[in-house]
Amino acid sequence: MQIIEQYSTPFYKNIIDLPPSMVRKLWKKDQVLILDIRTPQEYIEHHIPGSLLIPMDYLEILQEYFSDREVAVVCEHGNRARYATYGMPHIYKRKAIYMIGGMAGWMSMGYEVESGMDENGTKWEEWLEKKLS
């Protein structure tokens, strides 16, 4: 049996698809920033500790705040994250990782999750306010 640990397309060389287990390894080594693109309500319900919330609608406007790091893009089931990585690849200057299965996949593996709003969940509002003023 062949096990595929990562997938990348020849069209977007800076984007790779990884399962939650591989993303978690990179995250534990502080090699990747987990970019949560869900809504604030979803983030409050559950999120990966230390993940940065920037709702999908504001990714392009706030790209300067994460484009200098390698990011793993996460949503609830993977649909929005796939669109954000493959549909908006111009916003990533470095490597972007699409986490297969999203938060549902992460939680099904029994990995770390937190509830509630924290500093990383509100930064995007401050940045947006700065940009608009």
CATH code of the domain in which 42 resides: 3.40.250.10
In this structure, what DSSP letter does residue 28 have?
A: H
Q: How far apart are CA 69 and CA 133, in angstroms?
A: 26
- Enumerate the β-bridge partners of residue 17: 7, 98
pLDDT score recorded for residue 6:
62
Q: Which two tokens stand for residue 102?
A: 């999203």
pLDDT score recorded for residue 67:
84
The answer to the question of residue 6 being in a domain is no
* Whether residue 54 has pLDDT greater than 70: yes
Question: Region 121-128: what's the mean pLDDT?
Answer: 96
Question: Region 111-125: what's the mean pLDDT?
Answer: 97
* Whether residue 41 has pLDDT greater than 90: yes
Number of domains in the chain: 1
Average pLDDT value for the chain:
91
What domain range is 32 assigned to? 12-132
Question: Region 69-77: what's the mean pLDDT?
Answer: 95
Q: How deeply is 20 buried, as exposed, middle or buried, from its count of CB atoms within 10 A (0-12, 13-18, 19+)?
A: buried
